[in-house]
Chains A and B, each alone.
Chain A
Amino acid sequence: MKNWIWLLPATLILPACVTINIYFPAAAAEKAADKIIDEVWQIKPDDQKPAEKPAETN
């Protein structure tokens, strides 16, 4: 008789678990990609900005 109360959360929790996992974590992927690319191309954190020499023309 009281068992019905378990049914409601169960119907909410199960789809929630599935839903969360099918979304692609774009921000996390970007972070992971940056980390790997920095390693492959040996980019140091402060090399990010192009170190262009200022063109000194008057």
Chain B
Amino acid sequence: MNKRLLTVFVLLMVLVAPLAMAAANLEINTPAISSLTASMQARYNQLATYYASGAVGLTRDGLVAVRDANAVPLKDRQAVNALVAAENYDRNALYKEIANANGHPEWEAEIRGTFAQRWVQKAQGGWWYQDAGGWAKK
């Protein structure tokens, strides 16, 4: 009888253990994520001007977009488009990579949604972002 009780107890512990681990952090320390972060950080020096002028804004899907091309001198427009495309390429790769690094490729959309909110939250005053009603200034 005691042996049976012990067995049940041990199995209960096994059952509870994963619950305690559920609050763990997401894995973001992979070479791929680090290199994407570094690439975006380097690009930020160039993008910052355009965020501030409102030429480029933060979109609802965690990307960036040219919001007002008129805010950019004609000669620089090509460069801004290229910057935006490169940034979005990195951001898409980042969301996918985080999902994969944690063994849940299906989390990509939720990770993207989380980032979309946090980018806006951490944006500087005066930057533009998309909300349900369209573009808004922070």
Residues of A whose CB lies within 8 Å of any CB of B are 5, 9, 12-13, 16-17, 20-21, 23-43, 50, 52
Contacts and interface: CB of A to CB of B under 8 A. Distances in A.
A56 to B, nearest CB: 19
B83 to A, nearest CB: 14
Contact of A5 (B7, B18, B26, B124): B7
Interface residues of A, dominant DSSP:
helix
A17 B110 CA distance: 21
B18 A33 contact: no
B19 A33 contact: no
B111 to A, nearest CB: 6
B81 to A, nearest CB: 20
A42 B107 CA distance: 26
Contacts, number: 80
Contacts of B7: 5
A42 B114 contact: no
B44 A41 contact: yes
11 contacts: A9-B11, A9-B14, A13-B15, A16-B19, A27-B23, A29-B107, A29-B111, A36-B115, A37-B115, A40-B37, A40-B40
B125 interface: yes
Contact of B118 (A17, A25, A30, A50): A30
B65 interface: no
Contacts of A41: 41, 44, 122
Interface string B10-29: 01101100110011111010
A5 B36 CA distance: 51
Contact of A25 (B23, B28, B33, B124): B23
A24 B24 CA distance: 11
Given A32-B28, A35-B28, A20 B19 contact: yes
Contacts of B40: 40
